[in-house]
Chain A
Amino acid sequence: MIHSLFLVNASGDIFLEKHWKSVVSRSVCDYFFEAQERATEPENVPPVIPTPHHYLISVLRHRIYFVAVIQSEVPPLFVIEFLHRVVDTFQDYFGVCTEAAIKDNVVVVYELLEEMLDNGFPLATESNILKELIKPPTILRTMVNTITGSTNVGEQLPTGQLSVVPWRRTGVKYTNNEAYFDVVEEIDAIIDKSGSTITAEIQGVIDACVKLTGMPDLTLSFMNPRLLDDVSFHPCVRFKRWEAERILSFIPPDGNFRLLSYHVSSQNLVAIPVYVKHNITFREGSSQGRFDLTLGPKQTMGKAVESVLVSSQLPRGVLNANLNPSQGTYTFDPVTKLLSWDVGKINPQKLPSLKGTMSLQAGASKPDENPTINIQFKIQQMAISGLKVNRLDMYGEKYKPFKGIKYMTKAGNLCQFRLH
């Protein structure tokens, strides 16, 4: 299925290649570079590119293109999903997935890729199995390895691959047994200029960090499972049990994993926790424009709105902006025309604002559109949908684990205010 993989950096250099069948010349990437040149933005490179003898399917993550070479029909999502899984694995192993990290760990990368695919077909993609096969590099281990000459390839054989719970390592032992669950919800919304919501939806995930000895069997129940409209599970969750009782019952993988992602039914009205007051005007004939933006919190149940970041793509005619923030700092890039304002925490008593003037290109006609504003924020200890975990129980093991649940709400990638 997947013939070869090329990693291409932002400047268009191939810095790693791996072949699972016979070698495909790296000149095949020329077609990719062509498409890359045509695209105005790095994101605009089409994910599927046909060439005379091959097909190139690529994903872009962390400013690295992962280009897979395909020779015959295969569901494109199969390849895309796999490539993303590769990136996730690298991130898991090296902390970051950058060109430098990959180059530094080229041997581990190669060993991983070798285990993940056999003849182009995915073999072991569960991070728990991979970690049994190949130990992630840590500073300590690297030192020990250099001194003792031992290796980072696991001595044991990957028994997990055969068990009924392939996602869990065997023989897990911890002195402190703990299980943490983070309920993170993201709001995606489009708000029009009068402040009314065009679309708004909440999607959430429950990320878990479980460090429990042995083979624990956990159940997690919610106070209000009806809120969850559409869910997708980690393979460990017993689907039948969820169908019947709306209880999550599972034997968790060891370490960090995403237990569940969900969508909150769209019937529930979503209250956007911030509002924007704006007044951006360009006058005809004048080379000056006024800029006035104020943020305020809304329905946050007393929780503070933190890490607020406002960004906006100003019209092309704007030469520079001379603004005065009441708090935080702002930057304006005159080349990309990107304005970003790092607000920080919103204090309801003293609302943050950004006021000032913009200078426009002399002689140019006034820009006929107002920009859109993207907002990012975080609210700790609150799930905006109101989802609450009822209880977490453990069976199958004797000890008492430490359990913790954290809630957080943040803006999704697409929390957007239209000012036109």
Chain B
Amino acid sequence: MSTGALYNDQGGAEAAVEAGQESTPTSSGSGAAFGLFSADFKKNEDLKEMLESSKESLKLEAMKRIVGLIAKGKNASELFPAVVKNVASKNIELKKLVYVYLVRYAEEQQDLALLSISTFQRALKDPNQFIRASALRVLSSIRVPIIVPIMMLAIKEAAADLSPYVRKTSAHAIQKLFSLDADQKEQLIEVIEKLLKDKSTLVAGSVVMAFEEVCPDRIDLIHKNYRKLCNLLVDVEEWGQVVIISMLTRYARTQFTSPWKEGAMFDENNEKAFYESDSEEKKGHTEEKPYIMDPDHRLLLRNTKPLLQSRNTAVVMSVAQLYWHLAPKHEVSIVTKSLVRLLRSHREVQYIVLQNIATMSIQRKGMFEPFMKSFYVRSTDATHIKTLKLEILTNLANEANISTILREFQTYVKSQDKAFAAATIQAIGRCATNISEVTDTCLNGLVLLLSNRDETVVAESVVVIKKLLQTQPTQHSEIIKHMAKLFDNITVPMARASILWLIGEYCERVPKIAPDVLRKMAKSFTAEEDIVKLQTVNLAAKLYLTNSKQTKLLTQYILNLGKYDQNYDIRDRTRFIRQLIVPSEKSGALNKYARRILLAPKPAPVLESSFKDRDRFQLGTLSHSLNSKATGYQELSDWPAVAPDQSVRNVEIIEAVKEWTPTVGKTKQPKSDDKFYSDDEDEKEEEGSDSSGSEDSSSSSSEGLFMYFTMQMFSSCLAAKYHFPRQPCLYQPSMVAVQVILSNSSDHSLEEIHIGDRSPASLSIHCFNTIERLEPEASVTVSMGIDFSDSTQAANFQLCTKEDQFSVSIQPAVGELLMPSSMTEQDFCKEQGKLQGMNETSATITMETANASSQAISKQVLSVANVGVVSSSQNNFSRFAGRTVSSGALVLVSLELKESSTALLTINTEKTVMASMLLRDIKQALTQA
């Protein structure tokens, strides 16, 4: 039986399973083994048969067993031909399991793997996005160099796919192809560049990941997408957030100037004052100082802050490191609370977070001091957590809190975990050297510990006392005597060596004891550890120089023992010491200086944190955790002295905004757009209210060519009008900005005006802040953002006052769901070429004669739709380009003037519903006067 069992183990899991199935006990061991062997052989055969059978269920059963083999790390590669045939199966589960198998073994069976490729190529064209995506996923996971060109092609196509999910998959595929064949880098960068422009939150994380893997140095690709990434960040899935934040940290360090200029005059007091105040308010202060933060820099800080509330610890940590590396010093402390929160998470999370806090707390005690108690050690903590907490507590120690910390340390010394107790003693030593007020207290405490029963505690105390005495050797002969007495009872080599060194170093203070100790050591020399022997030799040499009368013979005896020691270090040292101290003919010159060499005053050791210079690594990284550079670590650059050109981050959309003034045709008008990104929401509000005063604004804006205006009275006491200012929405790029003018027409003041319930419930609205009070006859302009999701469905919501509520419905005209996009005529024609067929809607119209000039056409079209004019070289053509606000799909409008006043109006866009509505609106505008 035992032999059988043995074979079972060797034969691996399949044999074991088999043995379980046919558990017929056989008397002869060899027979059983033979039987098992053949069963094993047959077993693979039967898997093959199962796979080749016509029954789906059998095939599935076989695949499940094969996956079981793979999971256990058993080799199942010989079944490759049988498995690969099932790649085109209709059964989804079977297909998925075949994929699992294929990805695992394709590398080993390259030729056979090629058989499956055509299936995937077909699936890449499937109308269902999920099938396309999964085909690309598997195709790109097959690590067969021959298919690199096919993969490249598939990636390029998928990157232009309409489905964001497929585009996301293509971003993942980029990394896979890159690791398979790095020569494709240039082409892949092109794809990355394209995908970076993508506005979908699904794609953002994955493409940044690809960027980091393939071309982390091409920072120039980020410029144009920086603001978009910042704005999308909150809505990206959590794993993508981590990657984007860490990339943006690197980016910001190359593009903005240091916000720490004022850091020189920054001190702890300042910081303390800051704790009380809310961070939001403080932000305004940066403006007063000569340093002005780049609005884009501020945008990043502002948009990452809410992520501190994420449930994902990696996201919180990455925001914390972003603030640490990028924020003005006084703002960094807002991350403290969140980091401390992470300490209640799993053990492994605690470990990493504590490491980072340890590094931070060296430079910035104040950040964590209020949370000192969170770092108190629990007896249930794992040892590495305990030592990290100890490290942090030591870093936080200062004159004010040292007594509390020392009291806490006292309980740790009594801990049953002796390694931890020893670490505590080290920590006490560090506190004692750092804070001179408590040095004596600590020293006394440590001396008391010398009578502790536990050896490791005593030994550690000796070592620490030695270091402390070195810093102030004057009046401590008592302690040295005490330690000399203890010497016989201490067996830990490091402690014995330390005592010997101390006695030797200060032998003149203990002239009577020192020779006696040497005598004892001479007796036990051969039985000692190497470090103890070395120190004995040292002690002997020093005594020989100071007290040769008593110790000459002893020294010679020890040197003789050392001469024949097994360890060559000790033999070396003995030889060296002998030449140095015992006068002879050869060693004349050096001999004179022996005393000065051996008994020179030695600098005291500096006790400092092992986290001292860990901040050379970016926080939160693997390299930081290991304190050594990991493969692929990207250095965080220093702030540039002068900020690089800021305008590189400007994007066309913002330029299009400048078409606010009714000058048609001139697209490029340089004008500061800083305001759009400036800090305070209030400021934005003010901007709006500047132009308000309900009556004027309506009249002035009706003059404005691009204004689309609607009015709505819905109650006797509160009147609201809304209009579309045709600005990009400040809250979220996918929202349409709406300005609402609220006026109180009743005779009493209204309070707490805010937005209540909305429908459909999923409708995302960026509400305005609650208006506390609106006096009679007064009016106020507020701006809000509504994501219409590119449909003209009305957004309904409740407008509430303290007493009452009214339902409001905002129905956008289709033209307001667009935003202008500026492009050249060539680009326009190119894009138009891509949107042919069912994406094209056209109609021939007969225009009012007054509208026949191109200026008039522009005026009319722009009054209906928020699009940009494309400058045209042909007189009979007028072209306009825009994108839908929510999904960013292109909308191209072109008008070809025919003879007399007929014209061909063409709209190209993938949003066909919008196209037909827009066509109707434009037609109406052009045919009527």
Chain A residues packing against B (C-beta within 8 Å) = 1, 14-19, 21-23, 26, 40-41, 43-44, 46-48, 50, 55, 58-61, 70-78, 80-82, 84, 106-107, 109-111, 114, 118-119, 121-123, 125, 149, 151-155, 157-158, 161-162, 164-166, 188, 190, 192, 198-199, 201, 203, 215-217, 229-235, 239-240, 243-244, 251, 258, 261, 263, 313, 315-316, 365, 368-369, 371-372, 374, 395-396, 413-414, 416, 418, 420
C-alpha gap A313/B338 in the complex (Å) = 33
B359 CB, nearest partner CB in chain A, Å: 14
Q: Which residues of B contact A123 (CB under 8 A)?
A: 172
> B72 to A76, Cβ gap below 8 A?
no
Q: List 29 A-B contacts (CB under 8 A).
A: A1-B209, A17-B72, A18-B71, A22-B107, A41-B383, A44-B382, A47-B348, A48-B625, A61-B346, A71-B631, A73-B634, A76-B621, A76-B625, A77-B317, A84-B346, A110-B70, A119-B140, A119-B172, A121-B209, A125-B238, A151-B92, A157-B130, A162-B164, A166-B237, A231-B309, A232-B311, A239-B309, A258-B311, A315-B416
Least CB distance, B527 to chain A, in whole angstroms: 26
Contact of B626 among A1, A16, A50 (CB under 8 A): A50
Whether the Cβ atoms of B71 and A55 lie closer than 8 Å is no
Q: Is B893 an interface residue (CB 8 A)?
A: no
Contacts of B234 in A (CB 8 A): 239
For residue B191, give the distance in angstroms from its CB to the closest CB of chain A: 15
| Bound-complex Cα distance A22 to B384 (A) | 33
Cβ B352 vs Cβ A80 within 8 A: yes
Partner of B349, one of A80, A151, A261: A80
Q: Which of B35-43, B96-104, B516-524, B531-539 contacts A (4 or more CB under 8 A)?
A: B96-104
B623 & A73 in contact (Cβ 8 Å cutoff): yes
A-chain residues with CB within 8 Å of residue B237 when the two chains form the complex: 122, 166
Task: Give Cα A59 to B625, complex, Å.
Answer: 15
Q: How many Å from the CB of A69 to the closest CB on chain B? A: 13
Check: B93 CB closer than 8 A to any chain A CB.
yes
Q: Shortest beta-carbon distance, B102 to chain A, in Å?
A: 12
Task: Contacts A81-B312, A125-B239, A235-B238 given; indicate if A157 touches B376 (C-beta within 8 A).
Answer: no
Interface residues of B in 120-135 (CB under 8 A from A): 128, 130
A381 to chain B, nearest CB (A): 24
- Scan residues 405-445 of chain B and give those whose CB is less than 8 A from a CB of chain A: 408, 411, 414-416
Which secondary structure dominates chain A's binding surface? mixed
Contact indicator A368/B452 (Cβ below 8 Å): yes
Which B residues are CB-close (under 8 A) to A190? Answer: 376, 378
Option from B317, B379, B382 in Cβ contact (under 8 Å) with A372 = B379
Produce 1/0 per residue, B866-897, CB < 8 A to A. Answer: 00000000000000000000000000000000
Q: How far is the CA of A231 from the CA of B631 in the complex (A)?
A: 36
Please give, as numbers and ranges, the residues of chain B lying within 8 Å of A416 by CB-CB distance.
378-380
Q: Which of B262-270, B754-762, B834-842, B908-916 lines the interface with chain A?
A: B754-762
Q: For residue B759, which residues in chain A have a CB less than 8 angstroms away from its CB?
A: 395-396
Contacting residue for A72 out of B72, B347, B625, B631, CB 8 A: B631
User: Does B175 touch A at the CB level, under 8 Å?
Assistant: yes
Per the 8 Å Cβ criterion, residues 45-75 of B in contact with A are 56-57, 60, 64, 67-68, 70-73
**B394 in the interface, Cβ–Cβ < 8 Å?**
no
How far in angstroms is the closest Cβ of chain B from A278?
16
Task: Specify which of B234, B340, B344, B384 lies most central, judged by the most chain A CB atoms within 10 Å of its CB.
Answer: B344
Interface centre among A58, A76, A82, A374 (most CB of B within 10 A): A76
Which of these, B163, B172, B411, contacts A118 with CB under 8 Å? Answer: B172
Q: If the complex has contacts A19-B104, A121-B206, are A374 and B380 also in contact, measured as CB distance less than 8 A?
A: yes
Q: Give every chain B residue within 8 A of A121 (Cβ-Cβ).
A: 172, 175, 206, 209, 239
Would you list which residues of chain B between 744 and 798 have a CB under 8 Å from chain A? 757, 759-762, 764, 766-767, 769-770
Determine the chain A residues whose CB is within 8 A of the CB of B622 once the complex forms.
48, 55, 70, 73-76
Best-surrounded residue of B91, B311, B338 (most CB of chain A within 10 A): B311
Residue of A nearest to B421 (CB): A369
B498 contacts partner chain A, Cβ-Cβ < 8 Å: no
Which residues from B are CB-within-8-Å of A73? 621-623, 630-634
| Chain B residues near A230 (CB-CB < 8 A) | 337-338, 340-341
> Does B318 sit within 8 A of A, measured CB to CB?
yes
Point out which of B92, B352, B622 has the most chain A C-beta atoms below 10 A from its C-beta: B622
CB distance from A202 to the nearest CB of B (A): 11
B187 within 8 Å of A (CB atoms)? no
Interface residues of B in 153-172 (CB under 8 A from A): 163-165, 169, 172
B239 touches A78 (CB 8 A): yes
* A122 and B239 within 8 A (CB): yes
* A-B CB pair tally, cutoff 8 Å: 252
Q: When the two chains form their complex, are residues A107 and B378 in contact, meaning their CB atoms are under 8 A apart? A: no
- The residue in chain A whose Cβ has the minimal distance to the Cβ of B385 is A43
Q: Tell me, rounded to whole Å, the shortest Cβ–Cβ distance linking B929 to chain A.
A: 43
Q: Does B620 contact A (CB under 8 A)?
A: yes
Known: A119-B175, A230-B341. A107 touches B164 (CB 8 A): no
Residues in B with CB closer than 8 Å to A162 are: 163-165, 202
> Do B631 and A396 touch across chains, with their CB atoms under 8 A apart?
no
Q: Which of chain B's residues has its CB closest to A190's CB?
A: B376
Q: A77 is contacted by which of B68, B202, B349, B414 (Cβ under 8 Å)?
A: B349
**A198-B373 in contact given A73-B634, A75-B242, A107-B97 (Cβ < 8 Å):** yes
Give the nearest-CB partner of A312 in chain B.
B379
Q: A77 vs B317: C-alpha distance in the bound complex, in angstroms?
A: 8
Q: Give the residues in chain B near A414, CB-CB below 8 Å.
A: 378, 380
B762/A203 in contact, CB under 8 A: no
> Which of A61, A153, A232, A234 has the largest number of chain B CB atoms within 10 A?
A232
Known contacts A17-B71, A41-B382, A151-B93; decide if A114 and B100 are in contact (CB<8 Å).
yes
**Chain A residues whose CB sits within 8 angstroms of the CB of B227 once the complex forms:** none
Give 1 or 0 for each of B609-653: 1 = CB within 8 Å of chain A CB: 000000000001111011010111110000000000000000000
Complex contact B620–A368 (CB within 8 A): no
Bound Cα distance A179, B10 (Å): 53
Contact of B96 among A44, A58, A153, A188 (CB under 8 A): A153
Q: How far is the CA of A73 from the CA of B617 in the complex (A)?
A: 12
Q: Which residues of A contact B97 (CB under 8 A)?
A: 107, 110-111
Annotate B373-407 by CB proximity to A: 1 below 8 A, 0 otherwise.
Answer: 11010111011100000000000000000000000
Q: Return the chain B residue nearest A152 by Cβ.
A: B93
**Are B414 and A114 interface neighbours, CB within 8 A?**
no
A230 and B382 CA atoms in complex are apart in Å by 26
Whether, in the assembled complex, B811 has its beta carbon less than 8 Å from a beta carbon of chain A, the answer is no
**In the complex, which residues of chain A have a beta carbon less than 8 angstroms from the beta carbon of B96?**
111, 114, 153
Minimum C-beta distance from B306 to chain A (A): 5
Which of chain B's residues 302-351 have a Cβ closer than 8 Å to chain A? 306, 309-314, 316-318, 337-338, 340-341, 344, 346-349, 351
**In the complex the two chains form, is B761's CB within 8 Å of A215's CB?**
yes
Known: A50-B628, A258-B311; 18 extra A-B contacts, CB below 8 A, are A16-B72, A47-B348, A59-B347, A59-B348, A73-B634, A78-B242, A80-B349, A81-B313, A81-B314, A107-B64, A149-B60, A151-B60, A154-B92, A157-B128, A164-B764, A230-B341, A369-B414, A416-B378
Q: How many whole Å from A264's CB to the nearest CB in chain B? A: 12
Docked pose: A114 CA to B317 CA in angstroms: 27
Of all chain A residues, the one with the shortest Cβ separation from B404 is A198
Q: Which residues of A contact B92 (CB under 8 A)?
A: 151, 153-155
Which chain B positions have C-beta within 8 A of A263?
341, 344
A22 CB to nearest chain B CB (Å): 6
Looking across the interface, which residue of chain B has its beta carbon closest to that of A49?
A: B626
Q: Mark B799-810, 1 if CB is under 8 A from A, else 0.
A: 000000000000
Cβ of A63 to closest chain B Cβ, rounded Å: 13
* Mask: chain B, 538-549; 1 = CB below 8 Å from A; 0 = not: 000000000000
Could you say which residues of chain A place their CB within 8 Å of the CB of B416?
Answer: 313, 315-316, 369, 371
Q: When A and B form their complex, which 6 residue pairs have the shortest distance between CB atoms, in order from nearest? A: A72-B632, A396-B761, A151-B93, A153-B93, A217-B761, A149-B57
Among B141, B380, B623, find the residue whose CB has the most chain A CB atoms closer than 10 A.
B380
Q: B630 to nearest A CB, angstroms?
A: 5
